[in-house]
Structure 1
Amino acid sequence: MLLSQVQRADGGVQAVVRDGAEAFEVAGGAPLYDIAMDCIAAGRGLRDGIAARGRGAAVDLARMEAEGRLLPPLLHPDPAHLHLTGTGLTHLGSAATRDAMHAAGGGDEPVTDSMKMFRMGVEGGKPDGDAAGVQPEWFYKGNGSVLAAPGAALPMPGFAEDGGEEPEIAGVYIIAPDGTPCRLGFALANEFSDHVMERRNYLYLAHSKLRPAAFGPELLVGDLPAHVEGISRIRRGNATLFEQPFLSGEANMSHSIANLEHHHFKYGLFRQPGDVHVHMFGTATLSFAAGLACADGDIFEIEAAPFGLPLRNVLRSAPAGAGRVAVRQL
């Protein structure tokens, strides 16, 4: 089952369900947030809750995309209560790019912190049973105010040194009234970042991640396949500048999904009832590693078969700021 959301003609948010080729409105006209909260209250799963509501009119998702009416598959009524976060160095092969970015150059260098953390994940990121494994790298990207809809622009701020894609899979969650994290499913994500700033100094990683992100357009309900094969592309006009496969799923990761979830939700801060979390699980594929500098108007395209429609966004460079941000004393 794939779930998505579109903007209705009256401006409202409509949940859409797809099994196979055809997509339909979820009857009742509610957004997915309300449907999921009702399922939690009723003590039933999302599939059963969707089935109980029934199907409405057919939806042409391709037309919705062309009209710019696709929305992220889950939103919160208050964007401040939607959290965008992620983990890095979680995929087999991801350490090589990061290690090269952060090595000082020359020979006989000490092992970088990136490589150390990656090796920790390989050795202890998939613990047996219910034990907690080694914690991964973690970062904060922002809240719902910087979430870009599928098809919309990913704005690169004027002070940024780079705007590059990161094709990832994200877990999508709602926190139940009792504080239990509830996973709705998984979606494609573009964890848009500033790799030049990050390479300048690893301690700038936090700054480099404070950028917009996108996920969707469709949400895969159920378990994440152990092996996921996708394609990441960058188009400039009629030319394809970059096209490279990416692998995800636990068979291609140094951490289990359960371990990554534990080390995010172990913090009570992230178990506040009603909040939405979009937690991105990392990647090993970057156009930046291939030497590409993305430019205004470039189109990012991420696709993988289990997730339905591709995730497309365009890079938009914001003008440089007027200078230092001034703080007014009250």
Structure 2
Amino acid sequence: MHLSQLKSGGVIVRENETARLLPGIESIFALAQAAVEQGARIADLLPDGGEAVDLEMLAASGKLDVPVRHPEPARMYLCGTGLTHLGSASTRNAMHAQTEEHVSDSMKMFRMGLEGGKPAAGEVGVQPEWFYKGPGSEAVAPGDPLTSPGFALDGGEEPEIAGFYLNGPDGVPHRIGFTLANEFSDHVTERVNYLFLAHSKLRPASFGPELLLGDLPDHIEGRSRILRGDEVIFDQPFLSGEDNMSHTIANLEHHHFKYAPFRRPGDLHVHMFGTATLSFAGGITPQAGDVFEISSAAFGLALRNPLSVASDTGCTTIRTL
């Protein structure tokens, strides 16, 4: 079962090939709040009826939003984990070279995940690489531009799966569902020095168009493409799900929500689980106007976003009070 959010208000549910507008429901966020309050599953709270809609047409016309937003953007956290997929170390090492005598920090982190990222149920495994992308203001709707700042050295896609979480009144995180994500990053800046990873991640990200309810499939096959006009300049498959990861989802969730500030009641968290497929590793340099397209049958409609580049505003001036 999949849910989509209209920018104008309203929630669409898709079961198989049939999509309908849920009567009396304005947002998936409100549905999640009700599910937390009632101790219920979201799927059990969906009303019957509602008019049939053309979901693909709504997506193409830019009417779908990020599936879940917090009404207060500052209470929505965009974060993620890297080096979590079985092919991710080779991609990262293309940026940070290693020799027989020197093993990169990326490879060390990746090996730690292979050795301890999948603990038994109820046990704690090794912690992953972690990053912060920004507040909810940086969550970009499907079809809207992903904007690279003027000072950036690159603006490249990262095809990932993201989980959405709402903290209950007692601080317990509740998983709402999963979506496709474009964890947009600056890979040239990251390549300068691994310690610039934090800088490279402070960029917008896009999610949707459809939210998958329930558990994440163990094996996910998808495709990542970049279109430049009528030409496809990048086209590669990507894999996700625990069968293709060095960590369990539960272990990644634990190491995010173990921090008390991330369990503040009422906050919304979006957590991106990493990837092993980057056009950057293939020597592609995206340009303004290029369209990123991330798709997977498990998540319904593809996530598409054009790339835009902001003008450089120069040195930031601070005013003394």
Q: Give the TM bin, normalised by the shorter chain.
A: over 0.9
Question: Which is further off, 20-29 or 143-152?
Answer: 20-29
Give the Å deviation of 1:108: 3.4
Q: Deviations over 1:183-224 (max 9, x none)?
A: 011110000000000000100000000000001100110111
**Pairwise CA RMSD:** 1.0
Contact 2:150 2:312 in 1 (8 A): yes
**Which whole-Å CA distance do the structure 2 matches of 1:298 and 1:129 have between them?**
43
The yes-or-no answer on 1:73 pairing with 2:67 is yes
Letter paired with 2:235: E
Matched, 1:303 2:295: yes
The percent identity for this pair of structures is 61
Match of 1:100 among 91, 94, 98: 94
| Residue ranges of structure 1 left out of the alignment (5+ in a row) | none
Per-residue deviation, 1:124 = 0.1
Shift of residue 47, structure 1, vs aligned partner = 0.8
Identify the match of residue 226 of structure 1 among 189, 201, 218: 218
| Over 3 Å off, 4+ runs | none
Shift of 1:36: 1.1
- The CA deviation string for residues 6-63 of structure 1, in whole angstroms up to 9 with x for no partner, is 133xxxx21111101111112213211111101111111111012xx22312221122
For residues 42-191 of structure 1, the aligned pairs below 5 Å read: 42-50=38-46, 53-103=47-97, 107-191=99-183
Whole-Å Cα distance in 1 between the matches of residues 243 and 283 of structure 2? Answer: 28
Alpha-carbon separation, structure 2, partners of 1:213 and 1:64: 21
Distance 2:117 2:231 in 1: 40
Question: Cα distance, 1:65 vs. partner?
Answer: 1.6
SS in 1 for 2:95: helix
Instruction: Give distance in 1, aligned partners of 2:120 and 2:100.
Output: 36
Q: Which residue of structure 1 aligns with residue 261 of structure 2?
A: 269
The match for 2:315 is 324
SS of 2:265's equivalent?
coil
Shift in Å at residue 128 of structure 1? 1.1
- Spell out, residue by residue over 1:263-305, the C-alpha distance to the aligned partner (whole angstroms, 9 max, x if none): 0000111111111111000000000000000000000000001
**Aligned position for 2:30:** 34
- Does the alignment pair 1:22 with 2:18? yes
Partner letter of residue 306 of structure 1? A
Superimposed CA distance per residue, residues 115-138 of structure 1 (whole angstroms, 9 cap, x where no aligned partner): 000000000000012110000000
CA displacement, residues 209-259 of structure 1 (integer Å, 9 cap, x when unaligned): 000000110011011111000000000000000000000000000000000
- Quote the Cα distance in structure 2 between the aligned partners of 1:79 and 1:56: 30
CA distance in 1, matches of 2:39, 2:91: 44
Once residues 270 and 245 of structure 1 are traced to their aligned partners in structure 2, the CA distance between those partners, rounded to angstroms, is 33
Q: How many equivalent residue pairs?
A: 321
How far, CA to CA, are the matches of 1:126 and 1:108 in structure 2? 27
Which shows bigger deviation, 137-146 or 60-69? 60-69
Q: Is the 8 A contact 2:59 2:209 kept in 1?
A: no
Which amino acid in the other structure matches residue 277 of structure 2?
Answer: T
Q: Distance in 2 between matches of 1:238 and 1:129?
A: 48
Q: What SS does structure 2 have at the residue aligned with 1:58?
A: coil
TM-score (normalised: structure 2): 0.98
**SS in structure 2 opposite 1:184?**
strand
Q: Distance in 2 between matches of 1:272 and 1:200?
A: 35
Counterpart position of 1:7: 7
